[in-house]
């Protein structure tokens, strides 16, 4: 079901996010929302969960950095292939 949200920009350029939107995105204080703008219009948004790196091993951090490098180089995996990989693991 599609839902519509209007966010008001406050005097200090802060935006208050309605609790319902936070719940739908499973976000809490400290998490982030990435906004992509193209031609003066919001093209897309993406919710990000914050994970303290102190909780991750050096091996996992190294793997994350390697994948980030591939994404920056435009060598990321598309959604179809990612879903295929996930389904073969189950």
pLDDT tens string 6-49: 999 999 999 999 999 999 888 888 888 889 999 999 888 888 87
Structural domain range at position 63: 52-90
The total domain count for the chain is 2
Question: Model pTM?
Answer: 0.52
14 compared with 82, residue with greater pLDDT: 14
Asked if 10 and 43 sit in the same domain, the reply is: yes
- Asked whether the predicted pLDDT for residue 78 surpasses 90, the reply is no
Asked if 33 and 72 sit in the same domain, the reply is: no
pLDDT at 37: 92
Asked if 6 and 32 sit in the same domain, the reply is: yes
pLDDT at 90: 60
Return the CATH number at 4. Answer: 2.10.260
Asked if 30 and 43 sit in the same domain, the reply is: yes
Asked if 47 contacts 28 with a C-beta cutoff of 8 angstroms, the reply is no
Asked if 42 and 14 sit in the same domain, the reply is: yes
- Asked whether the predicted pLDDT for residue 51 surpasses 90, the reply is no
């Amino acid at each position: 079901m599609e839902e519509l949200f209007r966010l008001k920009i406050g005097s200090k350029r802060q935006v208050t996010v309605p609790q319902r939107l936070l719940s739908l995105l499973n976000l809490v204080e400290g998490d982030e929302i990435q906004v992509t703008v193209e031609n003066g219009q919001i093209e897309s948004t993406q919710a990000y969960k914050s994970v303290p790196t102190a909780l991750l091993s050096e091996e996992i951090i190294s793997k994350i950095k390697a994948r980030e490098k591939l994404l920056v180089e435009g060598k990321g995996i598309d959604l179809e292939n990612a879903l295929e990989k996930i389904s073969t693991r189950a």
